[in-house]
Chain A
Amino acid sequence: MNARSEIPFDLPTDQKTGYVGKSVPRSNARRLVQGRGCYLDDIRLPRLAHVVFFRSPHAHARIKSLNLSKAKSAPGVIAVFNGMDLQEFCTPWVGVLGHLKGIKSAPQHPIAIDRVCWQGEAVAAVVAETRRQAEDALEFIEADFDILPAVVDMRSALEAKYVIHPDLQDNICFSRELKTEGFDEAWAQADRVVERTYRFSRHTGVCLEPRAILADYNPADHSLTVHHATQAPHMMQDIFSKHLNIPESNVRIICKDIGGSFGIKVHVYADEMATAAISVALKRPVKFLADRMESFLTDIHAREHEATVRIAVKQNGEIVGFDLDDLTGIGPYSVYPRTSGIEGNQVVNLTGGPYRHKHYRAKLNVVFTNKNVTCQYRAVGHPIAVAITEGIVDEAARELNMDPAEFRRINFIPDDAYPYLSFPSGIKFECLSHQKSLEKLLTLMEYDKLRAEQAELRKKGIFRGIGLAAMIEVTNPSPAFYGVGGARISAQDGATIKFDPQGMITVTCSVTEQGQGNEAVFAQVAADAVGVSIDKVKVFTGDTSLMPYGGGTWASRGAGIGGEAVLQSGKALKSNLLDVAAAILAVEKATLDIHDNNVVDRLTSEVKMPLSEVGRVAYFRPDTLPMNFQSELTVTRHYTPREYGFTFTNGIQASYLEVDVETGEIKLLKHWCVEDCGTVLNPMLVDEQIRGGVVQGIGGALLEECLYDENGQMINGTMADYLVPMAAEMPDIVVGHIQTPTKQSELGAKGAGEAGTAGAPGALMNALNDALSPFNASLNMQPFTPQRVLQALGKVPVDG
C-alpha cells in the first residue's frame, strides 16, 4: 500500500478545449500548502557557515577605528572581515547606465571602507558555526566613528548645503528636463491651470521571506554555486563573475522557492556580494539571511517623491498639457546595476499617460541622501505618475464642475487611435483600450448608483468617496529599459522543451517564479502547444546551468516573454514529434495532429498511436526509422519583443471608501480594477496578481512609511511600527478584463504583475478627496493617516 503522499488535486486531464485562457490551479503550489517548499533557509550544506553583519549605527560617519579581535575569538566564530579584507576578493561597483544622461554615483564596496553612508550599512562581518554565535560575537566588536553631517531632507540635498560625495560636486544623482515644442504658447492659451504638490513617503517591500543568499565556493574547480533568493539569476551570474573574477560558466545561480520579492530581490546588495566574497575567502559555503530589522534598514526603499504638477485645460474640459517638477530622494548610492534613476525617469515618462494632450514640460531631480538605498520596487514610478496625473485630473474636473468620469472620457486617447506614436514624453503605444475599459469599469461598479448612494448618505452625515485612476503600465520591456544603457541584463528569454519517452514533457525557462504562477502558465502554454494534457507537463525554472539564458522576472515580463518562448518551443516540438510519427506510420506529416496525448488523424481525429509509442521508438528503436532520420525531441526557442521598447498595457481602477470625519479613519468599502493585459493566459492567476498588487498599493497609500529622524535614523524598523496591510482592513476587489492582444507575439500576452500597485494609490487618493470635498479639504501626502485626515479637516492643528 502506498503511503499518503499528496493531497488529492483536480488537474484537468482533458486537453480537448485547451488550457490557455482557463483558471487552471497551480500544480507547483501543492508542495507549498503542505509546508514542503524549499526556501533558501531550508537548504543545508556540509560545513555551512553563517555570516552576520555589524552595521553602522550612524547615517554618515568616518570609521575611526574598528577592532574585530575580540569578536574573532568568541565561541563558534570562524572568521571576521572588514571592508579592506574583502577588497582582494570583490571589486567595487557603480550604479550608472549610459542611457540616463549625466547619471552619476560613487563606487560602493561590499563592506564599507573608511566611511559609512547610511544607518545600517555594513561595517564588518562575523562568520560563525551558527547564527546565534555570530550575533553574540557582534557584541564584542569595538567601533569608533567620527560622525559626519547627515543629509536627510531632499530639499537640502538638492541645495547641496552639504555634499555627500565631494568628488561628485553635488548631491544630484540624475536629472532630466524635457519640454515639448510650442509648450509656452499653448500653456498661455489655456483657460485654467490647476496646480498641486503631492508628497509620497518612502516605503519598502516587506517580503515575508527576508533577503537570503547561500554562496558556496569550491576551490577545487574555481566554481561558485549561489543559492539565491533573486529574480534575475543570469544577471547575478554575470555580476558575481565580473566582481569576483570567476569565469561566467563557473558561476551557477540556483533559485528554488522564493518567499515574495516584488522587485526587492532583483537588485545587487552589498551584504550579499560580501557573502559571496566571504565564501571565496573561506572556501566553504556561507549563508546570509537578513532578519526583519535588517530588512527594514537595508532592503531597498522606494517612492520618496515631492511632485508639483500643473494641468492646463480649456473651458470645455480638454487637457492642453501637463507640467511637472519632481524631486526624489534616494540613498547615498545609486543601486547596481539598474540604477536608482529609473523610478524618477519613469515618473517623467508616464505622467499624463492615458491622455491625448500634446504639451508637456517636466523637470526631474534625483538626489542622494544618507538614508537607505532605493531602487525599483513593484510598479516602479507608476504609483506616483498615476496618482499625480489622476489626482490633478480630478482637481481640474472639480474646478470645471465636470463629472470625473466624463472628464476622462473626453480626454482619453481614443481606442481607435493606435498605434499612438506621438505621446509627449516619447513613449509609444501599440494598442490600448482606455475608453472601453472606462465603460466596463463604470458598469461593473454601478457608478451612477454609487453616486446616488453617496449623495443620500452625505445628507445623513456619512461621507463616502468614489475615486477613479486610469493608468498605463510598462510590461514586456525590450533592451530599452537597461540593455541600451550598457547593463548586462537580458531582455530576451528562452525555453527548452524536452519530450520524455513515457509521454511527459519537461519545460525549462529562463524566466523565474516567485509565486505569481509563471511556471503554471508555462505548463498551460506548453500543453496546448504540444497537444498533451497538463498533468503530463513539468516546468522548472531558476538554475543558470540548466536553463536557457535569459532575463528572469521583473517589469511584468514573465508570462508575455517567457510564455512566447515556451509557445514557440512547444510548437517546434510538436512538429518534430509529428516528424517521428509520420516516419513510424509512413504517412504524410500533414495528415497528422497531436491531441490529448495521442497522435491522431488530423481530419477524422482517429487515434493513431499514443505519444509514449513515439517516445519508445524515437529513443529506443531508432533502428526502425528511415536511414537518414534523426529524431529531435528537445527544442529550444528564444523570444524578445522587437517592435516596441515597452509593451504598454492600460487599466482603470476605482476605490469606494468611507471617512470617519471625527476620527480620521478611512474604511475601504470596495475596489475595482479593469485591466487590459492582452491575452489572459490564466484568469485566476492574473486576477490574483492584480488583487495582491492593489493591496500592496493600498499599503503605500494608507499605512506604510519609512520614518527617519533628523539624524538619519530609521525610527520604525519593526513589524509593530511599520504598518503593512492585514486582512481586516482590506476590501474585496472586483477585477474585469478587456483583451487587446499584442501583435508582437503569437501568444499576444502583455504583462499584469504590477498593474494593481500602479493604480491603487491614485484611486484611493481620489476617493478620499472626493469624500472630503464637502469640507473643502484635501490630502496630498501619502500615506493618508488618520492624523493627516484630521489635520486636513482642521480638527487638529498641524504642528505637534
Chain B
Amino acid sequence: MKAAGFQYERPNTLSQAIQLLASSSDARVLAGGQSLLPAMNMRLASPELLVDIQDIPGLRSIEETEKGLRIGALVTHGEIQASDLVKRKAPLLARAVPYVAHVGIRNRGTIGGSLSLADPAAEYPAVVVASDAVIEIQGPEGLRKTNASSFFKGLYATDLEASDILTAVEFQQPRPNEMFIFEEFARRKGDYATVGLAGSVIASGTTIESARIAFFAVGSQPVRAEHAAKALTGCDMTDKFSLEKAAQLLNEDLDPMPDLQANRYTKLHLAKTLLVRALLKQG
C-alpha cells in the first residue's frame, strides 16, 4: 500500500525538533524508519507530521565514558555491529545485533528507534534491561535519564512522552568476571523472536555468583527473570540438572502472551530450554 499523506519537517536542532513534536497532536519522530515506514506503508500508522531527526548533531557517536559506553540514538545497527568499542564495552549489545532483521535493515535502523518503539519481540529492549543501561531523553522540560528497567511501560509504551526524543543510551562497562549470554529462538534467521533472552552472569570458575537475565517476546515488554536469577546463584554451569532446576523458576517470572508462533506453554518451555543452553555454553 502507499502511505497516507503527512507533513514532513527536518529540523537542525534538538530544540526545534521538540518544538515541532509539541506543535502537533499526531507527530512521530522519524529516525531510520525501519519500523515506522512499514507501518505507514500498511496504513497501520498515519501520523500527521513526521519529524526527521537525521540532521540533528550529536546523536551519531559511540563514545567511551567514565561509566562505560554512550551510544547516540541515531547510531545504526550496522555501525554497532562493526564497532570494536561496542564489542569491548557493551558485549551484550554486540551479541544481540546480528539477530536484528537483515543487513539492509541494519544499515538504516537505529538503536534509538528500536528502543523508542519497544516492540515486545525486539532484541534491544531486553539487552538494555538486562544491562541496567541508562536511557537519555530530551524533552520540553530538558534532559532526563531513566534506567532501562523503568523505561518500558507496556505494549509499545515507554517513558517517552509525545514531545520527547530518545537521544542516547549509556551502558556500564563489563564487570570483572562477567560473562554475557544471548539466545534467541526464531522460525527463520532475522525473524522476530519467538522467545529470547539477554543477560549476564558473574561467575567464579563455572559457579554462578549472580545473574541478570531479561527475556523478550514473552509479553508486552522485556521481563527480568528475578526468581530464576536468584535460583541460579550457586549453580555450576556444567551441571545441566541443577541449571534445569533453577530454570523452573521461570514459571514464576514469566506469564507469556501467546502469539502466532507459540502459545504460553511453548514460550515457557523454550525460555527454560534457552536459559539452560545459554549457561551450559559458558560452562
Say whether A associates with B: yes
Contacts of A139 in B (CB 8 A): 4
Q: Which of A135, A721, A728, A787 contacts B266, CB < 8 Å?
A: A787
Complex CA distance for A707 and B259, rounded to whole angstroms: 12
Is B188 touching A729 in the complex (CB atoms < 8 A)?
A: yes
Q: Pick the residue among B1, B188, B264, B269 that contacts A293 (CB under 8 A).
A: B1
Contacts of B216 in A (CB 8 A): none
B266 touches A790 (CB 8 A): yes
Q: State whether B2 touches A131 (Cβ < 8 A).
A: yes
**Nearest CB of chain B from residue A106's CB, rounded to whole Å:** 30
Residues from chain A with Cβ under 8 Å of B190 in the complex:
726, 728
User: 8 Å CB contacts to B: which residues of A710-746?
Assistant: 715-716, 718, 720-721, 723, 726, 728-729
Given the contacts A135-B1, A291-B1, A293-B1, A716 and B273 also touching, CB distance less than 8 Å: no
Known A135-B2, A293-B1; judge A800-B188 contact (CB<8 A).
no
Residues of A within 8 A of B5 (CB): 132, 136
Assess whether A795 is interfacial by the CB under 8 Å rule. yes
Asked if B8 is at the interface of the complex by the 8 Å CB criterion, the answer is no
A786 to B262, CA, bound (A): 8
Interface members, chain A 567-598 (any B CB < 8 Å): none
Q: Can you name the residue of chain A whose Cβ is closest to the Cβ of B41?
A: A291
Cβ-defined contact, A800 with B258, below 8 A: yes
With both beta carbons as reference points, the residue of chain B lying nearest to A721 in the complex is identified as: B260
In-complex Cβ contact of A796 among B1, B187, B269 (8 A): B269
A707 touches B189 (CB 8 A): no
Query: Residue A282 at the B interface, CB < 8 A?
Result: no
Is A132 touching B42 in the complex (CB atoms < 8 A)?
Answer: no
Q: Is there a chain A Cβ closer than 8 Å to B241's Cβ?
A: no
With CB as the reference atom, state the residue of chain B lying closest to A720.
Answer: B192
Which A744-800 residues have a C-beta within 8 angstroms of B?
785-787, 790, 795-797, 800
Contact between chains at B42 and A662 (CB < 8 Å): no
Q: Chain A residue with minimal CB distance to B263?
A: A800
CB contacts (< 8 Å) of A721 on chain B: these are: 260
Instruction: Decide if B265 is an interface residue (CB 8 Å cutoff).
Output: yes
Among A136, A663, A787, contact of B263 (Cβ-Cβ < 8 Å): A787
Q: Check A800 against B260 for contact (C-beta < 8 Å).
A: no
A194 at the B interface (CB under 8 A): no
CB-defined interface of B244-272 with A at 8 Å, one 1/0 digit per residue? Answer: 00000000000000101111111001100
A796 to B1 Cα, complex, angstroms = 39
Q: Give Cα A663–Cα B274 distance, bound, in whole angstroms.
A: 9
Residues on A with C-beta less than 8 A from B262 are 786-787
Contact of B189 among A135, A136, A716, A729 (CB under 8 A): A729
Is A703 interfacial (CB 8 A cutoff)?
yes
Cβ-defined contact, B273 with A662, below 8 A:
yes
Q: With A136-B4, A293-B1, A723-B187 given, is the CB distance from A663 to B265 under 8 Å?
A: no
Contact B260 A716 (CB under 8 A): yes
Say whether A790 contacts B2, CB under 8 Å: no
Q: A787-B266, A800-B263 are in contact. Are A663 and B2 (CB under 8 A)?
A: no
Taking CB atoms, residues of chain A closer than 8 Å to B273 are 662-663
A785 proximity list for chain B (CB < 8 A): 187, 261
Chain B residues near A131 (CB, 8 Å)? 2
Of the four ranges (under 10, 10 to 19, 20 to 34, 35 or more), the interface on chain A belongs to 20 to 34
Tell me, in angstroms, the Cα distance from A600 to B187 when the chains sit together: 62
Asked if A726 contacts B188 (CB within 8 A), the reply is: yes
- Bound together, the chains give a CA A663 to CA B263 distance in angstroms of 14
CB-defined contacts of B189 to chain A, threshold 8 Å? 726, 728-729
Q: Which of B42, B43, B270 contacts A663 (CB 8 A)?
A: B270
Residue ID in chain A nearest B272 by CB atoms: A662
Contact indicator A796/B266 (Cβ below 8 Å): yes
A535 within 8 A of partner (CB): no
Question: Hey, what's the 0/1 contact readout for A109-141 against B, CB within 8 Å counting as 1?
Answer: 000000000000000000000011001100100
Residue A257 at the B interface, CB < 8 A? no
**Bound complex: CA of A465 vs CA of B127, how far in Å?**
37
Task: Tell me the complex Cα distance, A664–B274, Å.
Answer: 12
Indicate if the CB atoms of B4 and A665 lie closer than 8 Å.
no
Interface residues of A in 121-175 (CB under 8 A from B): 131-132, 135-136, 139
Are B42 and A718 in contact (CB-based, < 8 A)?
yes
Enumerate chain B residues within 8 angstroms of A797, measured Cβ to Cβ. 265
Q: Which residue of A lies closest to B274 (CB)?
A: A663
A800–B1 touching, CB < 8 Å: no
Q: Can you list, as one digit per residue, whether each of A287-304 has a CB less than 8 Å from chain B (1) or not (0)?
A: 000010100000000000
> Chain A contacts of B192 at CB under 8 A?
720
CA distance A720 to B121 in the complex (A): 12
Question: Given the interface contacts A707-B260, A800-B263, A800-B265, does A132 sit within 8 Å of B2 by beta carbon?
Answer: yes
Q: Are A790 and B42 in contact (CB under 8 A)?
A: no
Complex-state Cα separation, A64 to B264, whole angstroms: 40
Q: Which residue of A lies closest to B2 (CB)?
A: A132
Inter-subunit contact B42/A787 (CB<8 Å):
no
* Chain A positions within 8 Å of B4 at CB level: 135-136, 139
Q: Which residues of A contact B260 (CB under 8 A)?
A: 707, 715-716, 721
Chain B residues closer than 8 Å to A132, beta-carbon distance: 2, 5
**8 Å CB interface, B43-64 against A:** 43
CB of B185 within 8 A of CB of A663, answer yes
Question: CB-defined interface of B179-194 with A at 8 Å, one 1/0 digit per residue?
Answer: 0000001011111101
Structural contact, A665 and B258, CB atoms closer than 8 A: no
Q: Give CA–CA (A291, B277) in the complex, Å.
A: 42
Residue contact B2 to A800, C-beta cutoff 8 Å: no
B261 touches A787 (CB 8 A): yes
CA distance A663 to B277 in the complex (A): 11
Chain A residues within an 8 Å CB radius of B42? 293, 718
Within 8 Å CB of A795, what residues of B? 269
Provide the bound-state CA to CA distance between A663 and B187, in Å: 11
Within 8 Å CB of B185, what residues of A? 663, 665, 786
Which of A132, A663, A797 is most buried by chain B, counting CB atoms within 10 A of its CB?
A663
Question: Please, which residue of chain A has its CB at the minimum distance from the CB of B44?
Answer: A718
CB distance from A643 to the nearest CB of B (A): 46
Q: A662 vs B275: C-alpha distance in the bound complex, in angstroms?
A: 12
Chain B residues with CB under 8 A of A662: 273, 277
Which residues in A have their C-beta under 8 angstroms from that of B270? Answer: 663, 786
Interface centre among A665, A720, A785, A787 (most CB of B within 10 A): A787
> Do A800 and B187 touch across chains, with their CB atoms under 8 A apart?
no
- State the CA gap A795–B273 with chains docked (Å): 11
Neighbour of A800 across the interface among B191, B266, B274, B277, CB < 8 A: B266
Residue in chain A with minimal CB distance to B276: A662
Give chain A nearest CB distance to B48 CB in angstroms. Answer: 14
Between A136, A664, A715, A796, the greatest number of chain B beta carbons within 10 A of the residue's beta carbon is seen for: A796
Q: What 1/0 mask marks residues of chain B from 182 to 212 whose CB sits below 8 Å from any chain A CB?
A: 0001011111101000000000000000000
Residue of A nearest to B192 (CB): A720
Do the beta carbons of B265 and A728 come within 8 Å of each other? no
Chain B residues near A291 (CB-CB < 8 A): 1
User: Which residue on B lies nearest to A75, using beta carbons?
Assistant: B5
Judging by beta carbons under 8 Å apart, are A800 and B261 in contact? no
Closest CB-CB distance, B232 to chain A, in whole Å?
19
In the complex, which residues of chain B have a beta carbon less than 8 angstroms from the beta carbon of A786?
Answer: 185, 187, 194, 261-262, 266, 270
Cβ A723 vs Cβ B266 within 8 A:
no
The minimal Cβ–Cβ distance linking A462 to chain B, given in whole angstroms, is 15
CA distance A96 to B149 in the complex (A): 62
Which of B188, B269, B274 is close to A790, meaning CB atoms less than 8 Å apart? B269
Q: Which residues of B contact A787 (CB under 8 A)?
A: 261-263, 266
Interface-central residue, B2, B261, B274, by most chain A CB under 10 Å: B2
Q: List 21 A-B contacts (CB under 8 A).
A: A132-B5, A135-B43, A293-B1, A662-B277, A718-B42, A720-B192, A726-B188, A726-B189, A726-B190, A728-B188, A729-B188, A729-B189, A786-B185, A786-B261, A786-B262, A786-B270, A787-B261, A787-B262, A796-B265, A800-B263, A800-B265
Beyond the given A291-B1, A716-B260, A723-B191, could you list 5 further A-B residue pairs with CB under 8 A, ordered by the A residue number?
A: A703-B187, A720-B191, A790-B266, A796-B266, A797-B265
Q: Sorted from nearest, which 3 A-B pairs have the closest CB atoms? A: A800-B263, A728-B189, A796-B265
Where the two chains meet, the residues of A that have a C-beta atom closer than 8 Å to any C-beta of B are 131-132, 135-136, 139, 291, 293, 662-665, 703, 707, 715-716, 718, 720-721, 723, 726, 728-729, 785-787, 790, 795-797, 800
